[in-house]
Amino acid sequence: MPDDMLPDAVLPDAMLKVEGLTSHYGRIQALKGVDIQVAPGELVALVGGNGAGKTTLLRTLSGVQPASGGRVIFEGQDITQAKPHARVKRGIAQVPEGRQVWGPLSVEDNLRLGAVLRRDREIAQDLERVYAMFPILKERRRQAAGTLSGGQQQMLAMGRALLTKPRLLLLDEPSMGLAPILVEQILTSVADLKRQGVTIFLVEQNAFAALKIADRGYVLETGKVVLSDSGAALLANERVKEAYLGV
Ligand SMILES: Nc1ncnc2c1ncn2[C@@H]1O[C@H](COP(=O)(O)OP(=O)(O)OP(=O)(O)O)[C@@H](O)[C@H]1O
């Protein structure tokens, strides 16, 4: 393990522990033994270039992509083989790359889809919380989701994930395809969510924006973690600056 990696002992109570995780597409190995930890209440960013394996890692955490080796431990339970819906029930929600909202359905029906696995009666309250966070969604709640802009669809995808009442939110490239001002707005919302107590694992190609709000970060290259440190230290790291920040 390189000197700049955090040893396991630093996070004895990690909410999420990823140990030696591997994943394949046929003969292509996309993840080559990934070790990552996220403590309760943390906002942890994963940055890396095209094809590094970021999306594959998130899909393996949410259970839609099988792991070929290693382990995923969530709140002390081994969930490496658990089905996606079982992980949602345990409190893991993923906001997928490209939003994937249901275009013909209304904004509010999209949000309610996030709550279909819930049995409690607090859904109306949580819906109001999402509307308070993203007032534009309340304004457009009866409108078809497909008519929203890219930034609004990202808010909707985040709102839908929040309706599952997650303890761990997995975000895949929320800034993708958005104008710089919207990137800032979306990532400010992500930082707000952390302040409200949601633990967040944020995958981003926009390394600067992600590391700026992250407590800690990991750099993934060709399926392996090559660096890990606080968000601020990674922003100041020469290798990160050169490869991901264009400075
Ligand atoms: N469905 C697939 N079939 C075969 N290979 C795939 C598939 N999806 C991804 N890969 C390969 O796995 C590796 C990791 O891809 P992945 O999409 O996880 O990277 P990424 O870091 O998310 O990149 P991007 O930012 O471009 O989405 C790449 O080499 C990619 O070509």
Instruction: Quote the longest CA-to-CA distance of the chain.
Output: 53
193, 169 contact by CB (below 8 A): yes
pLDDT reported for residue 231: 96
pLDDT reported for residue 115: 85
pLDDT digits (tens, 9 = 90+) for 146-155: 999 888 999 9
Residue 53 has pLDDT above 70, yes or no: yes
For 19, 30, 71, the CA distances from 62, given in Å and listed in that order, are 15, 16, 13
For 8, 14, 53, 213, 245, the CA distances from 56, given in Å and listed in that order, are 23, 21, 5, 23, 23
Domain edges within the chain: 8-98+165-245
Amino acid at 78: D
Reported pTM:
0.89
Q: How much distance in Å is there from the Cα of 29 to the middle of ligand 1?
A: 10
Q: How much distance in Å is there from the Cα of 204 to the middle of ligand 1?
A: 14
Q: And the tokens for 161? A: 């994930």
Ligand 1 atom closest to 28 (CA): 5
Residue 8 has pLDDT above 90, yes or no: no
d(CA 155, CA 41): 21
Asked if residue 48 has its Cβ within 6 Å of ligand 1, the reply is yes
Q: What percent of the chain has pLDDT over 70?
A: 95
pLDDT reported for residue 122: 84
More confident residue, 11 or 74: 74
pLDDT digits (tens, 9 = 90+) for 166-204: 999 999 999 888 888 888 889 998 998 899 889 999 999
Nearest CA to ligand 1 atom 6: 25
| H or E stretch at 127 | helix 123-133
Nearest CA to ligand 1 atom 12: 30
For the residues 46-70, what does the mean pLDDT come to?
Answer: 95
Residue 236 has pLDDT above 50, yes or no: yes
Instruction: Give start and end residues of each alpha helix (H) in the chain.
Output: 54-62, 84-90, 107-113, 123-133, 135-139, 150-162, 180-195, 207-213, 231-236, 238-240
Architecture category of domain 8-98+165-245 in CATH? 3-Layer(aba) Sandwich (3.40)
Q: How confident is the model at residue 10 (pLDDT cuts 50, 70, 90)?
A: low
Instruction: Compute how many other C-beta atoms are within 10 angstroms of the C-beta atom of residue 93.
Output: 22
pLDDT reported for residue 11: 67
pLDDT reported for residue 223: 97
